[in-house]
Copies of this chain bind each other. A is one copy, B any other.
Amino acid sequence: MTSSKDHLDDVNIIVSGQGGDGSLTVSTILSDLLRERGYNIYTERDVASRIKGGVATASLRASRESRHVRSDDVQLMVSFDAEGVEKVKDQLADDAFIVFDDSDGRLPEGAVPASARLHAAPFGKIAVRQLGRTLYKNSIAVAFATRALAIEDDEVRSSFERRFRRMGQAIVDQNLQALQVGFDLADKMGISADVPMARLSAKGQNKQIQITGNEAVCLGFVAAGGRFFAGYPITPASELLATLESWMPRLGGIAWQAEDELAAVNMAIGASITGVRVMTGTSGPGLALMQEGIGHAGAAEIPLVIVDAQRAGPSTGLPTKPEQSDLDLMLYGGNGDFPRMVLAPGEPGDCFELAVKATNLAEKYQCPVYLALDQGLSQNLATVDEFDLDSVVIDRGKILSEEDLVSMDVFQRYALTDDGVSPYTTPGTQSGFFLLTGNERDEFGRVTTSSANRVRMMDKRMAKLDSALSELPTGRFIGDPNAKVGLIGIGSAYGTLVDALEKLSAYGLNAQLLQPRTLFPMLPETIEFITNSDRVYVVEHNQTGQLAGLLIREGAERNRVRSVIRYDGTPLRPGDIAAEILEKEAQS
């Protein structure tokens, strides 16, 4: 394995097969091995919206530095399916190492780059013949892949032992046997790598965890005291519910699968009223259904965290594919004017940090707070630094205890205050009675249409956004602060742009990257970043340039904003994005 890059530092691998045939375990095994060697790991899955069949692909990146995208220079591919190769053909490095199961026929002419090193064998057939089950094709193929990476056979064997142990010795033995079949075959075919994967220091590794964005959000939420989650299954948000269902019992909390998204958001609201920190999570279609409820939380001043694990729309769209096309819905959905905040994490570390933040903000400012994720960020596994519980501070805002109340002459749940935030109580408090409503009301919560009151209440509610400004998550700035070209991207575009920035620099384009972590209310730093640049490429995963639209509406100069958009249902790839930017630069 040679390429222009040093393989010791950074390898991109793809495994593809048929959904449900177990082939993606090859990726998991390689991931384990490389993680044991101290690499940072990033993995992606691309599956069809069906239970069995369809092309399923897993991508794996092992790198010395932390990365959050699979690059479009793939050096190693293991495929059990010709369609899988076809799908990523353009992303294979010229000298890619390709392991192909030709049980169902050879790859067509020109299916891989001319100079690629293709090693084809009928793994499936061999597995059936020699081991009695197709499934063992996967373990056979692992042998080829580890040879390509020059990982010692023994290391693979011990990894197999660890991995399959809990399934019983028979399974261990059978897989080891399959592996040996693979090694023997590889020997026969003379397969070996040029450059081995390094053994990195184990130092960094211990402080790292491997986690998806959805899981990191769950951790942040519970660490911030979140104890009630209501949701409804939907790809790619379902893991929020599943994860919290498994955790909440031991934390004295509840995660509940409601009958639909309307029930989910309204159950969360009901629980929130009792003073519990609550969250709901969904994806596009479900988020559309929740709009009335979310606006109600804003109007009635009830804390609510909403996770939108975005997927490709519109409507049911491409349920398992990535996109960032609900930004407009989060920013402008719901009827009437009400305060809302939209935070946008870029990798699991952010997911944890911003989930904590969102949970605090929602309660402190008594309004809905969105966490805008996307399919890639939600579901892809990445190694990140272990989350630091010391960084978690719980801020319950203006909550009043019975002791506070007794020293007050009057308690008004919607009291007018300078910062727009009224002190609040929870039911069960002896002197804290309130009326909550989504109608316009006076300070006690009594419905009224008085126009003077109306204006005061509208102003009060919206004032929260200004009050919160200084504590909203600031963006991540990467690259040369004096560069005249800027890049902006959120969510999983962050990982892509980190890579793209390097590629641009390799091509001599000096640029700076901003990953804004608060989308709304807009932070001045975001607009300033654009003002201070000659041109800013806003890279986003939707058709209409929703993020660019937001930036312009909120103050960015139109003529400095250049949209780079993708909406083909596949992840944003750094090489592809960098190429478009370079092209646009050449024209500018």
Which residues of A does B touch, CB under 8 Å? 48-49, 262, 283-285, 287-289, 291-292, 295-296, 298-300, 312-321, 323, 325-326, 328-329, 331-338, 437-440, 449, 451-452, 454-455, 458, 462, 542-544, 546, 549, 552-553, 555, 558, 567-570
Q: Tell me whether A315 and B438 are in contact (CB under 8 A).
A: yes
- A315's partner among B299, B331, B553, B568 (CB-CB below 8 A) is B299
Write the nearest CB–CB distance from A584 to chain B, whole angstroms.
Answer: 19
Q: Tell me whether A333 and B449 are in contact (CB under 8 A).
A: no
CB-CB under 8 A from A300, the residues of chain B are 315
CB-CB under 8 A from A283, the residues of chain B are 335
> Which among A319, A454, A570 has the highest number of chain B CB atoms within 10 Å?
A454
**Cα of A546 to Cα of B543 in the assembled complex, Å:** 22
CB-CB under 8 A from A321, the residues of chain B are 449
- A332's partner among B292, B333, B570 (CB-CB below 8 A) is B333
Could you jot down 6 A-B contacts, CB within 8 Å? A296-B315, A313-B337, A326-B335, A331-B332, A455-B568, A549-B553
Q: Tell me whether B325 and A336 are in contact (CB under 8 A).
A: yes
**Cα of A326 to Cα of B329 in the assembled complex, Å:** 13
CB-CB under 8 A from A325, the residues of chain B are 335-337
**Cα of A542 to Cα of B335 in the assembled complex, Å:** 11
CB-CB under 8 A from A262, the residues of chain B are 289
**Cα of A578 to Cα of B387 in the assembled complex, Å:** 57
CB-CB under 8 A from A296, the residues of chain B are 314-316
Write the nearest CB–CB distance from A333 to chain B, whole angstroms.
Answer: 5
Given A332-B332, A335-B288, are A451 and B569 also a contact pair (CB < 8 Å)? yes
Q: Tell me whether A458 and B295 are in contact (CB under 8 A).
A: no
CB-CB under 8 A from A455, the residues of chain B are 567-568
- A288's partner among B292, B315, B439, B570 (CB-CB below 8 A) is B292
- A314's partner among B299, B316, B326, B331 (CB-CB below 8 A) is B299
Q: Tell me whether B543 and A458 are in contact (CB under 8 A).
A: yes
Q: Tell me whether A438 and B289 are in contact (CB under 8 A).
A: no
**Cα of A512 to Cα of B568 in the assembled complex, Å:** 45
Q: Tell me whether A543 and B289 are in contact (CB under 8 A).
A: no
Write the nearest CB–CB distance from A59 to chain B, whole angstroms.
Answer: 15
**Cα of A454 to Cα of B320 in the assembled complex, Å:** 14
- A289's partner among B291, B454, B552 (CB-CB below 8 A) is B291
CB-CB under 8 A from A312, the residues of chain B are 336, 440, 454
Q: Tell me whether B332 and A336 are in contact (CB under 8 A).
A: no
> Residue on B with the closest CB to A437?
B316
CB-CB under 8 A from A555, the residues of chain B are 558
- Starting from the known contacts A314-B337, A321-B449, 14 additional A-B residue pairs (CB-CB under 8 Å) come to A49-B449, A284-B336, A295-B313, A295-B314, A296-B314, A298-B315, A299-B317, A317-B439, A328-B332, A329-B332, A329-B333, A332-B332, A552-B553, A555-B558
10 A-B pairs with the lowest CB-CB distances in the bound complex, closest first: A313-B336, A284-B335, A315-B438, A314-B336, A299-B315, A328-B332, A332-B332, A288-B292, A314-B338, A451-B568
Given A336-B317, A336-B326, are A292 and B289 also a contact pair (CB < 8 Å)? yes
Q: Tell me whether A333 and B291 are in contact (CB under 8 A).
A: yes
**Cα of A326 to Cα of B325 in the assembled complex, Å:** 20
> Residue on B with the closest CB to A543?
B337
**Cα of A553 to Cα of B289 in the assembled complex, Å:** 26
Q: Tell me whether B318 and A439 are in contact (CB under 8 A).
A: yes
CB-CB under 8 A from A437, the residues of chain B are 316
CB-CB under 8 A from A462, the residues of chain B are 543-544
Q: Tell me whether A439 and B331 are in contact (CB under 8 A).
A: no
> Which among A296, A316, A455, A552 has the highest number of chain B CB atoms within 10 Å?
A316
**Cα of A312 to Cα of B338 in the assembled complex, Å:** 12
CB-CB under 8 A from A326, the residues of chain B are 335-336
**Cα of A298 to Cα of B312 in the assembled complex, Å:** 14
Q: Tell me whether B552 and A454 are in contact (CB under 8 A).
A: no
CB-CB under 8 A from A333, the residues of chain B are 288, 291, 328-329, 332-333
CB-CB under 8 A from A332, the residues of chain B are 328-329, 331-333
CB-CB under 8 A from A314, the residues of chain B are 295-296, 298-299, 334-338, 438
**Cα of A517 to Cα of B399 in the assembled complex, Å:** 48
**Cα of A329 to Cα of B340 in the assembled complex, Å:** 14
- A567's partner among B331, B335, B454, B553 (CB-CB below 8 A) is B454
Q: Tell me whether A288 and B449 are in contact (CB under 8 A).
A: no
- A335's partner among B285, B320, B337 (CB-CB below 8 A) is B285
**Cα of A49 to Cα of B439 in the assembled complex, Å:** 11
**Cα of A321 to Cα of B447 in the assembled complex, Å:** 13
> Which among A319, A325, A458, A542 has the highest number of chain B CB atoms within 10 Å?
A458
Q: Tell me whether A287 and B568 are in contact (CB under 8 A).
A: no
**Cα of A332 to Cα of B542 in the assembled complex, Å:** 13
CB-CB under 8 A from A289, the residues of chain B are 262, 289, 291-292
**Cα of A296 to Cα of B333 in the assembled complex, Å:** 16
> Residue on B with the closest CB to A450?
B569
> Which among A285, A320, A321, A462 has the highest number of chain B CB atoms within 10 Å?
A285
CB-CB under 8 A from A440, the residues of chain B are 312, 317-318, 569
